[in-house]
Every structure is written in structure tokens, then in C-alpha cells.
Structure 1
Amino acid sequence: MKADVRLIVTADGSHTAINQALDKTYHSIHGAYQESQRVYIKLGLLEAFDKFPSEELHIFEMGFGTGLNALLTAREANIHQRRVHYTAIEAYPMSTEDAHQLNFDALLATDYLTRLHESPWNESVDISPYFTLTKIENRLQDWQTTERFHVIYYDAFAPSAQPELWEPEIFVQLAHLLLPNGMLTTYCSKSYVQRNMREAGLIVEKHPGPPHKRDILRAVKLN
């Protein structure tokens, strides 16, 4: 089933989408690009480049959504000439018609967004020499894999919309997906989310957020 969305322009000029069924935005209205760049690229991907300097990185994204996080990751992989294997799961994908209206490529001077959205589901596709994408059309709760990841971008809708995706058992599942010293980053810093992460054995760090967001989280798996 395709998501029913409406596109809007956020404060930094980049698009986000509103999921009509949940009445929630995919990204911050204060700046979709700024939020993704801070939460997932700076706090997650770039830290992983330094932490795992000789390894091909495996990234997992919960919530492919608009494709912005994947696009930014592909851009950095090419800039740094680092191989990234990117797996994203999405239960309700955007239609390609809606995705074609997103302004990310024009705003960021990239040309990957159409390929990201038009790539077939449940197959691995080389988007560039440094970026391989696998999109999974499924619910996180129903998905199983033997793959392990250096970084998890946790970009589910807010707990008010999808409380089941912020429960302790979800973070146990996510901790199992992480390699030793792997990291999970997310925009949500609610106290009970931090507690649920710690119960899953993760070390929780609070970091300054993007504009209009005081705190964001990075959780680390030590072993």
C-alpha cells in the first residue's frame, strides 16, 4: 500500500511530506535537510567513517520515507569515496509520482533521488560506485535478517503516532542488529525512549539538535 502524502516546503527550503493518515510530517518543518544532516549524517555516518576507517559501512534505516537520508548518505559516500551498503525498511512507500515532486536533488545539486525511489524493492541496486541500496517493503516488527550494521538511522514517526515502534522490545531488536561499537541515531529524546534503549544494553548519549530541537540521541552498542 502506498502512503497518502502531501508535500510542503520547510523552513530551510527543503521539502517534507505529511502522512495524511497519521497527520505527521516525515521531517522537521523547521528544516528537513538541516534535521537529517545533523541527526543522521553528522551524528551517525560521519562518526562511523572515523570509527571504522578501513571497513565498508553497512547502514540500516528505519523509515525510507522521502529518501532524504539515503540521498545524503549517497552524497557523502561519493565525497569520501567510502563504500556504503544501505538497507532501508518501509511499510508504506511513497508513490514515485509523489517522490518525483521532491526538490532535494535541485536543492543539493545531486542526481540520485529518482534512482533511489525507482529502484525495485527487496533487491540490491548499485546507485553509484560507492553506494548500494536495498529497500525492504515490510514492517520492522516482521523483518528478520542475519546482516549486522555499523549505523542505524532510526527515523520512525513520533511515539504519539507509532508508539509500538518505541517500546523496549524494538530496541532489543535494534541492538541485536548493531555490530560492536555500532551506533543508533534518532531525533526523539524522550526520557522513556532513553530508558528503553538502556534496557536494551545501549549506551545513550544526548547531543544538541538541529534548529528548534534541543536534544537528539546517539546510542552505542559496546559489544
Structure 2
Amino acid sequence: MKRELIQTGDGSWTIQLPDWDEQYHSKHGAIAEAKYVFIKQGLQHKHELGSFLSLSVLEIGFGTGLNALLSLGFAKDHKIELHYTGMEAFPVAEQEWQAMRYPEDLGMPLADFQAMHEGPWEQPLSIDPLFTLTKQQRTFDQLDAEQAFDLIYFDAFGPRVQPELWHRDILEKTFNALKPGGVWVSYCAKGDVRRDLQSLGFEVERLDGPPGKRHMLRATKP
């Protein structure tokens, strides 16, 4: 499938799949979307619920590594230890992640971003004393964790192009993977997804969305 690099509305870059008319991040702003959806409404929200010293995070769709890089920045700024797991069936190519320029845009060390992508898969890698990354190359239906995570970033391609990634069976796996009180966040606000999350037992909030989107979803496991 054809892949192109495009500059988004806030000046940051992402990967576009023109055959699907789909992008890895919002065309209205890759960094802006990630900061708002996954950091502000996810990681910051969860941290503020209990001022945790350590949190375990699962990202469904590691992709370009932008969410992981922003989470590393949050860990350093707030002196919180993060154990970060990123699931990705199809890792991005070296020339693609190198072209993203996220460390430059965020004022963060390039070496950290390189380590995230060049490090081994399927084993923990210490990027920083406060940040351990484990990358798993597998499809989302292979998630089999039980009460292992405090927070899940659900960042799959949208249900318009890959509806199978948003089926109730997949969402149930994420419910099972969360600890009680765990938080699930996504840029998606589709009604079917919201209703499936509620039917699984999540307490679901429809929040204002990032630039270019009206709404997003945040769900909490009781």
C-alpha cells in the first residue's frame, strides 16, 4: 500500500495512506492531537486521580512512536515512572520515523526517539531511569493481558477503514487488560464504540475533541 509523508496543520508530520484516505495522526495537527487525547485526557488525567509514582501504559498502535515520546516527556517532567508497552503489527520503516522530526519539534533528545525505534522487540528496554519500553510486534487480537495496565491508549486506524480493530471482542480484551480504576482513551467518538464500551462495564465519557474533531472518548474501568 502506498505511503506518503505529509505535514499536518500544526506543522508536525505524519504518514498518510492515500488508498484509504487515512493518516497515522490527525491531519489537523499530529502533535496537537496526541498531546490532547493521550497525554492531557489520558496520562495527565490518570496521574491527577492519585498522584501515582508509577504507572503502566499500553498503547494499541505504537506507530510512529509519537505517543511514547510524549509520555516519556511527561514522565521526566512529573518524576513518575512509566512502564510502557506498545503493540504494533506493522512497524514503520526507518526512513519514515527519521523523517517525523518529533524530537526537534518537541525539544527532546533525538537519542531517546532513536532508542525507541532501534531497540529490540519483545523485551524491556530502559530509555530513561523513569521510562521502560516494551515493544510487541503482534496484532491486536493477540492481546491477552489480565489487569496489567493502568492506562490504555487506543490509537488504531479508524473504524471507517479497519472496523475489525474496533469490534467488541477487541474492546473486551482491553477491558480485561486494565486494572480496576484503569483508564482507556481514544480519539474516536463513534456511537457504536461508545455503546460497546458501556456494555462491557466501562464508565464512558464523551469529551471535547482535539483540533478538527468534535469529540473523543474516555472510559474508566470501575
Q: Normalising by structure 2, report the TM-score.
A: 0.95
1:100 aligned counterpart, secondary structure = helix
Describe how 1:64-143 pairs up with structure 2 within 5 A.
64-111=62-109, 112-143=112-143
Paired with 2:44 and 2:52, the residues of 1 have a C-alpha distance of 14
Q: Encode CA deviations 1:55-75: one digit per residue, 9 max, x unaligned.
A: 410000000011100000000
Paired with 2:203 and 2:5, the residues of 1 have a C-alpha distance of 36
Could you say if the C-alpha distance between residues 19 and 123 of structure 1 is closer, same or farther in structure 2, counting changes exceeding 3 Å?
farther
Pick from 5, 9, 15: which aligns with 1:7? 5
Alignment root-mean-square deviation, CA: 1.5
Which residue in 1 is equivalent to 2:202? 202
Q: Structure 1, unaligned stretches of length 5 or more?
A: none
Q: Structure 2, unaligned stretches of length 5 or more?
A: none
Paired with 2:181 and 2:139, the residues of 1 have a C-alpha distance of 26
Q: Is the 8 A contact 2:58 2:84 kept in 1?
A: yes
Paired with 1:6 and 1:14, the residues of 2 have a C-alpha distance of 14
Deviation at 1:23, TM superposition (A): 4.1
Higher mean C-alpha deviation, range 146-155 or range 133-142:
146-155
Which residue in 1 is equivalent to 2:56? 58
Describe how 1:107-186 pairs up with structure 2 within 5 A.
107-111=105-109, 112-146=112-146, 148-186=148-186
Q: Normalising by structure 1, report the TM-score.
A: 0.94
1:207 aligned counterpart, secondary structure = strand
Which residue in 2 is equivalent to 1:43? 41
Query: Following TM superposition, where does structure 1 have runs of at least 4 consecutive aligned residues deviating by more than 3 angstroms?
Result: 19-23
In the alignment of these two chains, the number of paired residues is: 220
Deviation at 1:114, TM superposition (A): 1.3
Higher mean C-alpha deviation, range 105-114 or range 49-58:
49-58
Q: Is the 8 A contact 1:4 1:20 kept in 2?
A: yes
Q: Is the 8 A contact 2:146 2:178 kept in 1?
A: no
